[in-house]
Amino acid sequence: MRFLLILPLGLALAACGTPQERCVYRETRDLRTVDSLIATSQLNLSRGYAMEDKVIYEPVWETCGDRFRRNKKTGEVVAVAPRLCLETRPRTISRPKAIDLAAEARLLASLQAKRTELAREAQASVSQCKAQYPE
C-alpha cells in the first residue's frame, strides 16, 4: 500500500528532468523561439499569405440556475425545470491575411542571421551546463 502512495511522487519527480536538462532547456529557450518564428516565416512565404488568429464571441444557450430547490413547507428537495441562459463564449478562428512577401523575406533573412548568433551562444551555454551538471 505504501508503494502505491510513493509511486506517483516518484513519477512526478522523474518528469521534471535532471538539473543538466533544465539548464540546457533554459539556455536554449531563445533559440527554440527563433526556430519557431523561422518555420512560420518559411510557411508564410511558401503559401504567399499568413494565417491570422482572431477571437470571436458567440452566443450559446446553457442551462443555468439551480436544478433542485428545497420546499419551504416540507423541507424536502424537489427537482425544478431547467432554465436556459444566453452566455457568450470565445472561439478562436484562423483566417488568411495578405502579407508583403519582400518584407517577409527580409524578416526571414534577419531571423536566420539571429539564429546563427544564438546557436553560437547556446553552444557555449550548453557546454557550461554539461560542465556544471555532469550526468
Does residue 2 form part of some domain?
Answer: no
Q: How far apart are the first and last CA of the chain?
A: 33
- At residue 127, the 3 state secondary structure works out as helix
CA of residue 116 relative to chain centroid, distance:
26
Q: What is the pLDDT of residues 56-77, one digit of tens each?
A: 999 999 988 777 778 788 888 8
Q: Write out the residue range of the structural domain in which residue 119 sits.
A: 17-49+100-135
Distance (Å, whole) CA 8 – CA 39: 37
Alpha-helical segments (H) within the chain: 2-14, 19-27, 29-47, 101-132
Number of domains in the chain: 2
Q: Which residue in 31, 4, 36 sits closest to 125, CA to CA?
A: 31
Q: Are residues 21 and 83 in the same domain?
A: no
Reported pTM: 0.68
Q: Examine the domain organization and report whether 42 and 69 are in the same domain.
A: no
Q: Is residue 4 part of a domain?
A: no
Whether 61 and 122 map to the same domain: the answer is no
Residue 72: what pLDDT?
80
